């Protein structure tokens, strides 16, 4: 019953608060600016991430209080860290910050959750079944993971519904893996986040068009929280989601970020310099509409998540082959789209 109440609260707080955010943003003209990178036209309100954040935090507090009677140190670490990233993102939506300052805030938030106990302590190689103690390297891996995923989800937030749908599917996938581990609290964290996203998506999906965007506040918060979810320990302190499984679940934003890093390094440009060659941009260059691109990427995310769940339910060589197949499939998917994009650019030069 506690779980149902918390889940319902998360969804309702997200949905209702976004209704008021819409009124507020339209009243004060807080619209997402249109530039050469954006694919939308017209005045579309931003700050939809406020609903996702409030839904998650309120739902999490309600669940924790109903279940334990008080909130623990680890819960407050997650709330404070995610709030720091969220506030920075909203502030950046209203008055853009320098990229280096934003990175410093992300570093501070990452250190907060690491100090609160969200760390990859072990690495279990699929198929071998023997966990390796990461020691101090676990803290380095965790830090890089949190910073990387936070920015990766932010980068894919380019078309209506994409960041929200990918994040919702990823959160539910984490929830199922935690179910296999019997980690009830972690399941609820994931479900609460998913329902908070669901309240937002009712406004953001292109049906027929998005009523508002989540903004950097929403995408940075989602990236940060998704990075922390697989780090939630169980009662033994070490039961989370294997980093190899977590990386596979978030393969779309992570591979897109790696591609962006490689592309900008190859061209001698700063990574902080934006462009229109992210995965969704490439699909639209191929002739797909924004809505079709969303369907393609949502379908691919669903396929990836299903394969990861198969790997998590099996053992030995079967699990290893399935997980390796996920990464190979991701590489092939990105490679085919990249090659097709290069062909289109070459043809445009000849015209």
pLDDT tens for 75-125 read 999 999 999 999 999 999 888 888 889 999 999 999 999 999 999 988 877
φ/ψ (deg, to 5) at 21 = -65, -40
Tokens of 349: 């030069």
Q: Which residues make Cβ contacts (< 8 Å) with residue 321, sequence separation at least 6?
A: none
For 205-287, where are the alpha helices, taking DSSP H only?
Answer: 215-228, 243-249, 251-266, 279-285
What is the pLDDT at residue 326?
Answer: 97
pLDDT of res. 189: 96
In DSSP terms, which residues pair with 167 in a beta bridge? none
DSSP-derived secondary structure for 284-327: HHTT--HHHHHHHHHHHHHHHHHHHHHHHH--HHHHHHHHHHHH
Token code pair at residue 133: 């103690």
Measured CA to CA, the distance from residue 249 to residue 229 in angstroms comes to: 12
Find the farthest-apart pair of alpha carbons in the chain and give their distance in angstroms, rounded. Answer: 68
Give pLDDT, residue 90: 94
At residue 336, what are phi and psi to the nearest 5 degrees? -60, -45
pLDDT by residue (tens digit) across 175-220? 999 998 889 999 999 999 999 999 999 999 988 788 899 999 999 9
Checking if the pLDDT of 293 tops 90, the result is yes
Q: What is the structure's pLDDT at 208?
A: 76
> Residue 28: which residues within 8 A CB-CB, separation 6 or more?
none
For 26, 84, 132, 178, 227, the CA distances from 220, given in Å and listed in that order, are 23, 10, 31, 24, 11
CB neighbour burial string for 269-280, b if at least 16 within 10 angstroms, e if fewer: eeeeeeeebbbb
Q: How many CB atoms lie within 10 A of CB 307?
A: 17
350 phi, psi to nearest 5 deg: -80, -15
Both tokens assigned to 37: 């990178």
Taken as a whole, the chain contains a residue count of 351
pLDDT band, very low/low/confident/very high, at 40 (cuts 50, 70, 90): very low
For 210, what's the count of Cα atoms within 13 Å in the CB-facing half-sphere? 30
* Residue partners of 177: CB distance under 8 A and separation at least 6: 241, 245, 308, 309, 312
* Cβ–Cβ under 8 Å, residues 120 and 142: yes
- Among 5-9, 22-26, 60-64, the range scoring the smallest mean pLDDT is 22-26
Q: What is the mean pLDDT of residues 293-315?
A: 95
Burial tier of 80 (Cβ tally within 10 Å: 0-12, 13-18, 19+): middle
CA 170, CA 173: separation in Å to the nearest integer?
A: 5
In the three-class reduction of DSSP (H, G, I as helix; E, B as strand; rest coil), residue 131 is classed as strand
pLDDT at 274: 74
Q: What residues does each domain of the chain span?
A: 2-116+126-350
């Amino acid at each position: 019953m506690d779980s149902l109440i918390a889940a319902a609260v998360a969804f309702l707080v997200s949905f209702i608060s976004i209704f008021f955010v819409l009124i507020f943003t339209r009243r004060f003209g807080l619209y997402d600016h249109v530039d050469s990178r954006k694919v939308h036209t017209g005045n579309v309100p931003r700050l939809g991430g406020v609903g996702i954040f409030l839904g998650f935090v309120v739902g999490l507090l309600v669940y924790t209080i109903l279940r334990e009677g008080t909130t623990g140190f680890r819960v407050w670490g997650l709330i404070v860290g995610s709030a720091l990233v969220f506030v920075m993102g909203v502030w950046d939506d209203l008055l853009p910050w320098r990229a280096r300052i934003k990175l410093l805030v992300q570093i501070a938030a990452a250190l907060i959750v690491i100090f609160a106990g969200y760390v990859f302590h072990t690495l279990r190689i699929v198929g071998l079944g023997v966990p390796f103690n990461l020691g101090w390297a676990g803290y380095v891996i965790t830090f890089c993971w949190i910073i990387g995923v936070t920015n990766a989800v932010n980068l894919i937030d380019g078309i209506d519904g994409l960041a929200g749908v990918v994040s919702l599917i990823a959160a539910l996938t984490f929830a199922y893996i935690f179910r296999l581990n019997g980690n009830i609290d972690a399941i609820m964290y994931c479900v609460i986040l998913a329902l908070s996203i669901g309240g937002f998506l009712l406004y953001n999906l292109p049906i027929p068009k998005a009523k508002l965007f989540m903004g950097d506040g929403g995408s940075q918060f989602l990236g940060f929280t998704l990075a922390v979810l697989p780090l939630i320990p169980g009662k033994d302190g070490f039961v989370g989601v294997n980093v190899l499984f977590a990386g596979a679940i978030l393969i779309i934003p992570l591979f897109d970020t790696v591609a962006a890093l490689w592309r900008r390094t190859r061209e001698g440009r700063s990574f902080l310099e934006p462009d229109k060659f992210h995965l969704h941009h490439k699909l639209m260059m191929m002739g797909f509409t924004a809505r079709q691109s969303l369907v393609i990427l949502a379908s691919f995310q669903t396929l990836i998540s299903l394969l990861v769940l198969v790997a998590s339910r099996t053992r030995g060589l079967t699990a290893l082959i399935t997980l390796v197949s996920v990464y190979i499939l991701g590489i092939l998917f990105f490679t085919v789209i990249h090659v097709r994009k290069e062909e289109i650019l070459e043809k445009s030069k000849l015209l």
